[in-house]
């Protein structure tokens, strides 16, 4: 198990290094001068030069890469060009919105998808199965921003149960924070739940055809117990894979949803930073997302090993 | 089952009862589309900065009023020497900064010299180029000596970039702006909102509002529900074009279409063939149908213009008839210029809908006279790099939002690449003229020259579409400066 973990972590670290070079290089090529963008069309050349000097844009590329990457190692993400505060502070402020949002969406989608998948698999070919999978097909097809707008009109404008958007901060209480995140989490979770339900169903169906399921049924085990104890556990591997992928997607893919609900999250931050050529913020957020994807993948690998002991020795 | 039902009902009730109560009469929530990068108007061009702090938090020696006129602010009055080179300002006594320190002549000298300094990052450094020295006569009197007379000097001092700051707090203004205005800065929740509150001890008339929250709502689709639920009371610049009729029909809101300083033009590279040929530019002007362009600009609003000047300005001359929409004439001019079969060119479009949507309309209009445009969408950063700096473009659409900026046509090396000594002479004369009637005459002359030269395709003045609660009074209809001046805003009884 230790060797397994060490290998996974080493691969993860290597991924991070390669990613940092790629991210930096790509943003280096992107056209656009941050100083000109900040000072606009009437700026004098003098003022532009002064600002570039202030932002440290005058140093050679390699020196800037090494300075930045070295800073990352000790947790220093640098200072934002546009906001004059440290990148790490900006990220921390935004992460307290995006992380709970992604987690809520993940929990919601799992809570919906697994029972639906189980239910559909247990009633394969019957009306209930058709209905559940039809709903899932709908969930996959509906774009989440459109679904988000419908949710806003029904629950915020019409029923007035939750705010139409915005986030006033956790300091106003857990309930108010959760209420602000509820609709966005549902909008994010629906397409994910639909995919997950389909995967759960098909994984279960495959397992249900196995000999040991027939044996379990033959020895008199009740249907439900067979499904939960034998089938679900064996069907978990593909479900976990999808879950891992989804968490990464949820974190990175909140840009649209955060815009629709004007939530001050990481997606909004990175979107804003890209349009303002606040490269150092973009680099910081992207690296953080890469790191979280790497981390989640390691966790998923560990989960595989927990679910299926055979994988531990590989 | 009953238990389940009652839990559900209780939850719904709890949620419903805790939704926001209608705001009290001294609160205001204003929706803005763009979040400012920081809050120091002397260190950035972003309109989003001025939209929050101008006239509310920071004040200059002069200020621009709702009709675009110059009004006294921190300078109570002023005298101009006969040669137009010495301005003596009498300063407001008793004005204080929000941190309690006093405003005096030192601050004026400091602020102007800071903006002019070598390491200054003021986005409009050019505004201060005429200043030679700033001299403190006594704590409430300042004398500013100019190198050459500048007719627009008082106007220039009213820009957000020329606000007066204190030396003790200037460096922190990006995060914690400290000015002399009627509102003081309270809190900035990054990505979500900026809150101001009434400043105690303001030198002028106290404001009616106690707190103002600027809420950042970047998405047009999100702006409408925010308004409908009452989360936001006012959008000085409403982003939603499609949903406007729905809001107009709702008696709870008013929709006010005003004008901005944004001349939306088809910028033309005047040194690049074939656009260096006057006949070609005239042909383009004849081929453009402004009504159709306005109808397709994303909002359907806008005032047609025939030159680079705001119709809201008293010196405005209507020149939309200089080259009326006439396809036959356009084709004839192209033939004279040797382009009987038309030609191909590129049209670079920045992100706003007036450009991206308007560009499609213009491309189809020019196609009718044989000019085939290849549309190239660009981001702002690319636009600034390629079009504005490198002048690597044929045509582009952009709104010039700086107020009173016809002077850019006299600049060497400006991206239009227009070079006309006659025009430059008019602008030079404007610089040394301070008599308003004479200035208006010169402005008219300037408008006419560039209209006749068809330097650019003059399309329309960008509209300001304001939407707010019908009970709200004192919001500005037009935006002669990019600001959300809330000093006269109050809730009706």
Task: Identify the pLDDT of residue A55.
Answer: 77
Closest CA to B169 of B161, B177, B158: B177
Residue at a domain's end among B172, B194, B216: B172
- pLDDT for A200 equals 92
Identify the pLDDT of residue B456. Answer: 96
Other CB atoms within 10 Å distance of the CB of residue B242: 12
Q: Are residues B458 and B474 in the same domain?
A: no
Q: How far is A263 from chain B (nearest CA, A)?
A: 7
A265 contacts in B (CB within 8 Å)?
A: 191
A76 & A192 share domain? no
Quote ipTM for the complex. 0.74
Higher per-residue confidence, B18 vs B402 = B402
Nearest-CA residue of chain A relative to B229?
A157
Q: How many domains does the structure of chain A reveal? A: 2
- Considering the domain boundaries, does residue B289 fall inside one? yes
- Are B289 and B248 members of one domain? no
The verdict on B456 and B391 lying in the same domain is yes
Identify whether residues B332 and B451 lie together within a single domain.
yes
CATH of the domain at A238: 1.10.3720.10
Number of domains chain B is built from:
3
Task: Check whether residue B255 and residue B282 sit in a common domain.
Answer: no
CATH code of residue B190: 3.40.190.10
pLDDT the model gives residue B13: 44
pLDDT at site A252: 64
The confidence score (pLDDT) of residue A161 equals: 86
In a domain, B326, yes or no: yes
Give me the mean pLDDT over the B398-414 stretch.
89
Same domain, A199 and A260: yes
Identify the domain boundary among B141, B172, B203: B172
pLDDT tens, position by position, A142-169:
888 888 889 988 998 888 888 888 887 8
Is A80 in a helix, a strand, or coil?
A: coil
More confident site: B5 or A181: A181
> CATH no. for residue B76?
3.90.76.10
Residues A252 and A193 in one domain: yes
How far is the alpha carbon of A170 from chain B, nearest alpha carbon, in Å? 12
**Residue B102 clears pLDDT 50, i.e. is over it:** yes
pLDDT-derived band at A304, boundaries 50, 70, 90: confident
A41 and A142 share a domain?
no
The verdict on A37 and A97 lying in the same domain is no
Q: How many other CB atoms are found less than 10 A from the CB of residue A225?
A: 12
Number of neighbouring beta carbons within 10 Å of residue A30: 13
Tell me how far the alpha carbon of residue A197 is from its chain's centroid.
Answer: 18
Res A93: pLDDT: 87
Same domain, B337 and B370: yes
| Residue B147 and residue B99 share a domain | yes
**Which chain B residues are Cβ-neighbours of A261 within 8 angstroms?**
222
Whether B193 has its CB under 8 Å from any CB of chain A: the answer is yes
Query: Is residue B192 located within the same domain as residue B241?
Result: yes
First to last CA, chain A: 9
Residue B261: pLDDT over 60? yes
Q: Do B145 and B266 fall into the same domain? A: no
Closest chain A residue to B117 measured between Cα atoms? A47
- Indicate the residue among A43, A67, A85 that finishes a domain: A85
- Residues A181 and A147 placed together within one structural domain of the fold: yes
B245 or B279, higher pLDDT: B279
**Residue A85 sits at the chain B interface (C-beta within 8 Å):** yes
Has residue B45 been placed in a domain? no
Q: Would you call A84 an interface residue with chain B, using a CB distance cutoff of 8 Å?
A: yes
Q: Which domain holds residue A210?
A: 88-313
On whether residue B49 sits in a domain, the answer given is no
Question: How many Cβ atoms are within 10 Å of B246's Cβ, its own excluded?
Answer: 12
Residues A67, A168, single domain; the answer is no
Preceding peptide of A253 cis, ω within 30°:
no
Range of the domain at B88: 57-172
Q: Is residue B358 part of a domain?
A: yes
CB contact A146 to B (< 8 Å): no
Average pLDDT of the segment spanning B358-383: 92
Chains A, B: CB pairs < 8 Å: 164
Chain A residues touching residue B385 (CB < 8 angstroms): 31-33, 36
Nearest to A72 by CA among A13, A29, A130, A118: A13
> Residue B183 corresponds to which tokens in the numbers above?
């509102």
Domain assignment present for residue B223? The answer is yes
Long-range (24+ apart) CB contacts under 8 A made by B439-445 are B439/B151, B439/B315, B440/B314, B440/B315, B443/B309, B443/B313, B443/B315, B443/B406, B444/B315, B444/B317
* Cβ <8 Å between A167 and B123: no
**CA B179 to CA B165: how far, in whole Å?**
6
Looking at the DSSP bridge assignments, the partners of residue B260 are B479
Mean pLDDT along residues A32-42: 77
Residue at B453 is within a domain:
yes
Looking at the structure, do residues A240 and A268 belong to the same domain, yes or no?
yes
Q: Say whether both A47 and A159 belong to one domain.
A: no
Judging contacts by C-beta atoms under 8 Å, the chain B residues touching residue A51 are 121
pLDDT of residue B17 exceeding 50, the answer is no
A82 pLDDT band, cuts 50/70/90, is confident
- Whether the per-residue pLDDT at B321 is higher than 90: the answer is yes
- Rounded to an integer, the average pLDDT of B317-328 is 95
* Assigned token pair, B180: 């002399």
- Are B193 and A85 an interchain contact pair (Cβ–Cβ within 8 Å)? no
Answer yes or no: do B186 and B330 share one domain: no
Domain boundary among A85, A105, A133: A85
The answer to whether residues A191 and A229 belong to one domain is yes
Query: What CATH number has the domain bearing residue B362?
Result: 3.10.105.10
pLDDT at B18 over 50: no
Same domain, B328 and B412: yes
**pTM of the shown model:** 0.81
The string of pLDDT tens digits covering residues B107-166 is: 999 999 999 998 888 988 888 989 999 999 999 999 999 998 888 899 999 999 999 999
| Mean pLDDT, residues B188-201 taken together | 91
Per-residue pLDDT of B62-85, as tens digits, reads: 999 988 889 999 999 999 998 889
Average pLDDT, chain A: 86
What tokens appear for A217 in the block?
Answer: 């049924």
Region for residue B191 given its phi and psi (left: phi exceeds 0; alpha: psi -120 to 50; beta: otherwise): left
Question: What is the spatial distance between Cα A7 and Cα B344, in angstroms, rounded to a whole number?
Answer: 59
Q: Which of B172, B196, B222 is the last residue of a domain?
A: B172
Same domain, B141 and B250: no
Mean pLDDT to the nearest integer, A244-255: 77
Q: Cα(A279)–Cα(A284) distance, rounded to whole angstroms?
A: 8
For residues A58 and A107, state if they share a domain. Answer: no
How many percent of chain A have pLDDT more than 70? 98
Kindly indicate the confidence band of residue B193, based on its pLDDT and cuts at 50, 70 and 90.
very high
A63 pLDDT band, cuts 50/70/90, is: confident
Between CA B444 and CA B433 the distance in angstroms is 14
Convert the pLDDT of each residue in B345-368 to its tens digit: 999 999 888 899 899 999 999 999
Q: Kindly state whether residues A81 and A194 are assigned to the same domain.
A: no
Q: Does residue B51 fall inside a structural domain?
A: no
Residue of B375 and A175 predicted with greater confidence: B375
pLDDT at B166: 95
Q: What is the dihedral of CA B206, B211, B215, B220, to 10 degrees?
A: -60
Report the pLDDT value the prediction gives residue A314, as an integer from 0 to 100: 52
* H-run or E-run covering A231: none
């Amino acid at each position: 198990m230790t060797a397994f973990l060490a290998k996974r972590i080493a691969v993860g670290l290597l991924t991070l290094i390669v990613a940092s070079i790629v991210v930096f290089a790509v943003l280096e090529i992107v056209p656009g001068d941050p100083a000109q963008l900040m000072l606009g069309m009437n700026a004098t050349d003098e003022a532009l030069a002064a600002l570039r000097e202030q932002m440290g844009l005058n140093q050679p590329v390699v020196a800037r890469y090494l300075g930045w990457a070295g800073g990352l190692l000790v947790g220093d993400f640098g200072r934002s060009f546009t906001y004059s505060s440290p990148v790490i502070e900006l990220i921390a402020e935004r992460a307290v919105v995006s992380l709970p949002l992604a987690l809520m969406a993940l929990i919601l989608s799992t809570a919906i998808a697994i029972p639906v998948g189980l239910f559909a698999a247990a009633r394969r070919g019957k009306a209930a199965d058709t209905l559940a999978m039809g709903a899932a097909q709908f969930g996959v097809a509906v774009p989440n921003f459109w679904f988000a707008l419908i949710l806003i009109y029904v629950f915020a404008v019409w029923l007035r149960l939750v705010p139409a958007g915005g986030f006033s901060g956790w300091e106003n209480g857990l309930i108010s924070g959760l209420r602000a995140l509820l609709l966005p989490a549902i909008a994010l979770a629906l397409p994910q739940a639909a995919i997950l339900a389909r995967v759960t169903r098909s994984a279960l169906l495959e397992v249900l055809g196995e000999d040991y399921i027939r044996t379990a049924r033959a020895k008199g085990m009740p249907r439900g117990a067979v499904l939960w104890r034998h089938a679900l556990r064996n069907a978990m591997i593909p479900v976990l894979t999808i879950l891992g992928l989804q968490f990464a997607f949820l974190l990175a893919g909140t840009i649209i949803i955060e815009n629709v609900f004007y939530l001050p999250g990481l997606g909004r931050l990175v979107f804003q930073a890209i349009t303002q050529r606040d490269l150092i913020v973009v680099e910081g957020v992207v690296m953080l997302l890469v790191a979280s994807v790497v981390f989640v993948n390691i966790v998923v690998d560990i989960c595989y090993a927990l679910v299926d002991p055979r994988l531990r020795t590989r | 089952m009953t238990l389940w039902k009652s839990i559900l009902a209780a939850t719904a009730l709890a949620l419903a009862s805790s939704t926001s109560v209608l705001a009290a009469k001294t609160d205001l929530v204003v929706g803005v589309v763009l979040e400012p990068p920081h809050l120091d108007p002397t260190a950035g061009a972003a309109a989003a900065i001025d939209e929050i702090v101008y006239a509310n938090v920071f004040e200059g020696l002069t200020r621009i009023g709702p009709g675009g006129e110059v009004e006294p602010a921190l300078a109570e009055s002023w005298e101009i020497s006969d040669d137009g080179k010495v301005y003596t300002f009498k300063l407001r006594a008793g004005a204080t900064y929000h941190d309690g320190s006093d405003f005096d002549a030192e601050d004026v000298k400091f602020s102007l010299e800071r903006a002019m300094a070598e390491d200054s990052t003021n986005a409009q450094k050019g505004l201060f180029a005429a200043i030679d020295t700033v001299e403190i006569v006594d704590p409430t009197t300042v004398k500013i000596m100019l190198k050459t007379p500048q007719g627009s000097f008082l106007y220039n001092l009213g820009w957000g970039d020329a606000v007066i700051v204190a030396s003790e707090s200037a460096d922190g203004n990006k995060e914690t702006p400290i000015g002399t205005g009627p509102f003081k800065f309270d809190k900035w929740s990054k990505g979500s909102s900026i809150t101001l509150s009434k400043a105690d001890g303001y030198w002028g008339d106290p404001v009616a509002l106690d707190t103002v929250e600027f809420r950042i709502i970047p998405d047009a689709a999100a702006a409408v529900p925010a308004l409908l639920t009452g989360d936001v009371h006012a959008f000085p610049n409403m982003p939603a074009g499609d949903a406007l009729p729905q809001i107009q029909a709702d008696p709870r809101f008013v929709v006010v279409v005003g004008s901005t300083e944004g001349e939306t033009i088809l910028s033309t590279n005047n040194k690049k063939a074939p656009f260096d040929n006057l006949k070609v530019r005239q042909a383009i002007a004849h081929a453009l149908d402004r009504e159709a362009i306005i109808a397709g600009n994303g909002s359907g609003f806008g005032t047609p213009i025939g030159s680079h000047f705001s119709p809201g300005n008293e010196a405005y001359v209507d020149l939309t008839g200089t080259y009326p929409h006439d396809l036959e004439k356009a084709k004839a001019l192209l033939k004279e210029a040797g382009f009987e079969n038309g030609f191909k060119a590129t049209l670079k479009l920045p992100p706003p809908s007036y450009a991206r949507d308007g560009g499609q309309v213009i491309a189809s209009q020019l196609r009718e006279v044989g000019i085939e445009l290849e549309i190239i969408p660009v981001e702002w950063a690319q636009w600034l790099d390629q079009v504005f700096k490198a002048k690597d473009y044929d045509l582009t659409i952009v709104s010039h939002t700086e107020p009173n900026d016809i002077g850019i046509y006299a600049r060497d090396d400006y991206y239009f690449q227009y070079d006309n000594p006659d025009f430059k002479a008019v602008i030079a004369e404007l610089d040394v003229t301070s008599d308003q009637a004479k200035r208006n005459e010169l402005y008219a002359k300037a408008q006419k020259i560039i209209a006749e030269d068809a330097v650019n395709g003059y399309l329309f003045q960008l509209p300001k579409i304001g939407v707010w609660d019908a009970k709200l009074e004192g919001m500005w209809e037009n935006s002669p400066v990019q600001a959300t001046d809330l000093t006269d805003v109050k809730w009706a009884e």
